[in-house]
Amino acid sequence: MTSECTTDDCRNMTSTFLCSQCVSDLQSWLDRVPILLVELRVTIARQDNVRPAGGGGGGSKPGSAAPLNFDAWQISENLKTVGKSAKDYAHQEHAAGQAWLIADWVTKAELLVSGPEAEHVNHHAIRARLDEHRPDPMPTRKLIPWLKENARITVTQFDIRNWARRGKLTPVEREPLPTYHPYDVLNAWHDTRATERANA
């Protein structure tokens, strides 16, 4: 028996709770977990060394490392609970929600390890060009490669779904699949990066 994939905005037919494409997407997130756990250990250790003993006594200024240290530890603990096989998740009723949570943890872990993404592209010029010549709205799977080629940014299906869920994006059309203006997605991307830089 087949039914629609339980992932938001997917609509692919599947015999499990996740379609083959969403299983592949989830597996790509899971495959990053082992190396992230190693890198997070280094991040936690480095912050432990930087943080002044006793919370900054002896005249040293208290560092801002403690919150990051705790965040890295918490994300590490979260990632230790995930499985290795996306196909196993596909048979679980709440697979879509679990996939969303795993992607969120991995995204946060990568930010903690690497810091905010450095911008080497003239994004201001790109935004101005897209604002002047706005392309037609597109579904998520056309948006991702289009933005990579034309706006020099990398977004995922998870990003777009997350931004839509949080109200940063509003679909132009909802049927048969949600479509979004590339310029609106670009604005959501910039807004997210600005928040990450402020919190890093």
pLDDT tens track for 87-107: 999 999 999 999 989 988 988
Q: How far apart are CA 90 and CA 30, in angstroms?
A: 13
Which segments of the chain does DSSP mark as H helices, in order? 20-30, 33-50, 65-79, 86-90, 95-114, 123-132, 140-150, 157-165, 182-199
- Among 15-24, 33-42, 168-177, name the one with the lowest average pLDDT: 168-177
pLDDT tens track for 186-198: 888 878 777 766 6
pLDDT tens track for 29-56: 899 899 999 888 888 876 544 444 344 4
Other Cβ atoms less than 10 A from the Cβ of 27: the count is 16
**pLDDT at position 7, please?**
86
Q: How far apart are CA 152 and CA 139, in angstroms?
A: 18
Q: Where are the domains of the chain?
A: 3-114, 123-199
194, two tokens: 């600005």
pLDDT tens track for 123-149: 667 767 766 677 888 888 788 888 878
Q: How much of the chain, in percent, has pLDDT values that exceed 90?
A: 19
Sign of CA dihedral 156, 178, 97, 94: negative
Helix axes 95-114, 157-165, angle to 10 degrees: 100
Q: How far apart are CA 196 and CA 200, in angstroms?
A: 6
Q: Does the structure show a pLDDT above 90 at 119?
A: no
